[in-house]
A and B are shown apart, each in its own frame.
Chain A
């Protein structure tokens, strides 16, 4: 019985994430517009854009190779796989044993590399520029993520997301300084990974500052739709990840029956909404920073994560 429930939960989770992705992006945009005093587009606008783009035939440069055509599928596939692993409303889904934090990072890296290669495929200045910046920023973001994982792994004894969520759900860990520091580090990484302000501005195509958009300048039609959808999935995934780790309340325990899920679902929606609101507020509150200040931003996050780990060693007498 439990097995079937876990399979069902997994399927529901996947459907939920896939559906939530464009919606979430739309909601964030709408909220930002509201906070800036504009009426803003309808929250469902992203869905409409996607369907419109899907119906268009893409135009490829003469010298574009198969990379340009394969990369978007790989990016979306990797993002979907990663998103399928992050627990949302219930734990103990069938893929739970697979849900390893470092694996998620790896899958995100797959998407990143696919995008960078697609950006370099045609051989335009901006594609290469964006790819170089993307990979370089990731080089600083990755250690920050791993260090945050270090703190979580020490506290939870594993890097398995489901287990971490469970450990935090059961509590007993209490509120810790190092946990807060890890949270800050993860937030910074999330901002960078999703090309949000202040690292990048998803709403602009200003060549000199853009990172993410520069790589997909040549994409059009269904390819562009896939790139956008991959980005939406990543945002959803990150918010879900933060929610699962740092706001574990309300999650349905593993193996529980569907009627328990309702609470979890509601809790999850509330969490995601709250996070979206926070993100919108954050983005509309601050300005984008210069490109070469980004490493300092991420480096600070890395150091905070390191500090958190060290504090953990000292405080909890693990030594």
Chain B
């Protein structure tokens, strides 16, 4: 299987090369995307095979100048291949349906390379190959983020994105170096043989958090994500949010759980939990304030990544505290959420892309009422929204139920400070979950419900064919994954053993359980129960109530009927994106995100409408664009003084160097 996957990576790279000429014709572009669909399917199949079969390793005949490139496929990487494959397949299918002519090469060529980079990262078995895939992934996606580089904000997004990518790469390289020690052998096997201890372990964790964490969107290095993900084409945004962040989390998990060895103290998990909780809250809150659909979804990605990070941190802490069963529980929650989030976030981004294509806007305030014009998109998106809002019995609830169970058991670690921190983290995780529900209601309700806010939204067109399939498939998957979490956990068992050294607590096939004899969650039974209840209600109502409904103008508290030139009434009398976010902006935004708002109220007798002005600053971005450039500029000013020297003074530098060196020699000789 590994060989197949390696060949696939090579084939994808070749496809990227071939895309240059193929981009000139629609058929060629379709061919490239079809190839990527197939690649996605093969990746997912490879993941399944890797989970069912045993691990495999491979040494390429070529590689960096100092040795062969090592590849391996074990349970962990196999598990992460699943979301990658699913996301890539769906996104490519979506893109395939969106091809209506020649595609700019800059949008087509990097796409297969991007996929290849992610796959290579998952398959790598030495530091160099890992970084190679990681950075190739970043570089290719950077081209895609910059595809529309005429807009200044896209250029800014691309710049920040690539700088962060380079920063993360350097941090990971340093981490590899620390792991390898003086030996300089960056093979994973060598890392496992000599796990770091004491300050080295802490430093490696910090570097990995800076490197992989920044890529995954963990606060406070998340600022690039809401900028870059929306700037890319929709199918790319879907994979960046759905799969690329997961690849980064894989790198994190690979280092922390596998390479650093099991003999690590429990507090190593604390920073992960703290950063995860912070990311979850910040992301979910921002999702409630953003007014651009894709940015909103990107922020919800930050929230979910935070939840996954909490799970990973808990697993690390439990393992350090020698509670393997609980570690498996937390790790299972994290892995399950990785898969679930990949699926429903891909779905949501694709839906946002379809809305952008159909209604020509990403701004919530220019959409509305689309459920009438784009029913397939709307209902498919509803499944994703419900999952993202953690509603039973959908996929999001299953993994977040497990995560909460793990959090509720965190006190067993025993350390008082950790217990208090964990209790706080529990509250924050619950807060983030509820905030996400609010954000999702805001997203779906404002985009698909209500009245069209612009003529273009009123005349939106939904595309069928491949695009429709690309939306329905992940929607169905979201429901299915929600119904059989137990099955998925059994599938993930080898990965859990690798991470936690134990299997997840056994529940029966259809359930997931907190612990032996602890609380359990039977999605199918719950679904059946709810369905039965609804059926009962429908039956009773049918028996008593008259059938059918009467249609009339909206009552709207008796406000006057709309004028004829506005058949649905004035769109401006609907809640706006800013207005819907107002309660949360006032409750949390003002304190956490320096949010501000003000109403421009015209004087009496003036017919201008009152306008609600609102906005916020992400403190992390402010820090990034405030002090850092200031310090850099101060240093540069000093450095420029050197540049402005005259020749005589430059010679003075040389002369000084000579004299200094001679004096040093004389001193050394003297001793």
Q: Do the two shown chains form a genuine complex with each other? A: yes
- Within the assembled complex, what's the spacing in Å between the Cα atoms of A137 and B575? 18
Find the B residue at minimum CB distance from A161: B519
A117–B431 touching, CB < 8 Å: no
B526 sits at the interface (CB 8 A)? yes
How many CB-defined contacts (below 8 Å) exist between A and B?
Answer: 284
B449–A226 touching, CB < 8 Å: no
A120–B579 touching, CB < 8 Å: no
**In whole Å, how far is B262's beta carbon from the nearest beta carbon of chain A?**
24
With a cutoff of 8 Å between Cβ atoms, the chain A residues found around residue B545 in the complex are: 54-55, 57, 221-222, 225
With a cutoff of 8 Å between Cβ atoms, the chain A residues found around residue B544 in the complex are: 51, 54-55
**In whole Å, how far is B638's beta carbon from the nearest beta carbon of chain A?**
48
A106–B397 touching, CB < 8 Å: yes
Find the A residue at minimum CB distance from B448: A65
A295 sits at the interface (CB 8 A)? yes
- Within the assembled complex, what's the spacing in Å between the Cα atoms of A121 and B378? 13
- Within the assembled complex, what's the spacing in Å between the Cα atoms of A220 and B429? 37
Interface string of B406-445 (1 = CB under 8 A from A): 0110010011100110011011111101110110011011
Known A63-B372, A106-B392: A132·B430 in contact at CB below 8 Å = no
Known A117-B444, A128-B574: A65·B449 in contact at CB below 8 Å = yes
With a cutoff of 8 Å between Cβ atoms, the chain A residues found around residue B386 in the complex are: 113
**In whole Å, how far is B418's beta carbon from the nearest beta carbon of chain A?**
9
Find the A residue at minimum CB distance from B545: A222
- Within the assembled complex, what's the spacing in Å between the Cα atoms of A319 and B321? 12
With a cutoff of 8 Å between Cβ atoms, the chain A residues found around residue B483 in the complex are: none
B401 sits at the interface (CB 8 A)? yes
Sorting the interface of chain A by its residue count into under 10, 10 to 19, 20 to 34 or 35 or more gives 35 or more
A44 sits at the interface (CB 8 A)? no
B433–A98 touching, CB < 8 Å: no
A81–B442 touching, CB < 8 Å: no
- Within the assembled complex, what's the spacing in Å between the Cα atoms of A84 and B530? 10
B27 sits at the interface (CB 8 A)? no
Find the B residue at minimum CB distance from A84: B529
A146–B427 touching, CB < 8 Å: yes
Give which listed residue, B405, B419, B552, contacts A318 with CB less than 8 A. Answer: B419
B573 sits at the interface (CB 8 A)? yes
Interface of A is mostly: helix
Give which listed residue, B372, B419, B575, contacts A128 with CB less than 8 A. Answer: B575
A228 sits at the interface (CB 8 A)? no
B582–A122 touching, CB < 8 Å: no
A106–B391 touching, CB < 8 Å: yes
With a cutoff of 8 Å between Cβ atoms, the chain B residues found around residue A63 in the complex are: 369, 372, 451, 554, 568
A120–B530 touching, CB < 8 Å: no
B587 sits at the interface (CB 8 A)? yes
A116 sits at the interface (CB 8 A)? yes
Interface string of A136-152 (1 = CB under 8 A from B): 11111111011101100
A159–B549 touching, CB < 8 Å: no
With a cutoff of 8 Å between Cβ atoms, the chain B residues found around residue A98 in the complex are: 520, 522, 525-526, 529
Stretch at the interface among A29-37, A71-79, A246-254, A255-263: A71-79
With a cutoff of 8 Å between Cβ atoms, the chain A residues found around residue B420 in the complex are: 310, 313
- Within the assembled complex, what's the spacing in Å between the Cα atoms of A101 and B551? 40
**In whole Å, how far is A236's beta carbon from the nearest beta carbon of chain B?**
14
With a cutoff of 8 Å between Cβ atoms, the chain B residues found around residue A243 in the complex are: none
A5 sits at the interface (CB 8 A)? no
- Within the assembled complex, what's the spacing in Å between the Cα atoms of A131 and B443? 12
| B window 516-548: CB within 8 A of A | 517-522, 525-526, 529-531, 533-534, 536-538, 541, 544-546, 548
Across the A-B interface, the 10 shortest Cβ-Cβ residue pairs: A128-B575, A123-B450, A77-B534, A61-B554, A135-B438, A142-B434, A120-B445, A136-B583, A146-B430, A80-B533
- What are 14 inter-chain pairs, A to B, with CB distance below 8 A? A77-B534, A100-B519, A100-B521, A102-B519, A106-B397, A128-B450, A128-B579, A131-B445, A139-B587, A143-B434, A147-B423, A154-B408, A159-B514, A310-B419
Given A60-B550, A98-B526, 10 extra CB contacts under 8 A: A56-B546, A97-B522, A101-B519, A107-B392, A122-B451, A123-B568, A138-B434, A306-B424, A309-B423, A310-B419
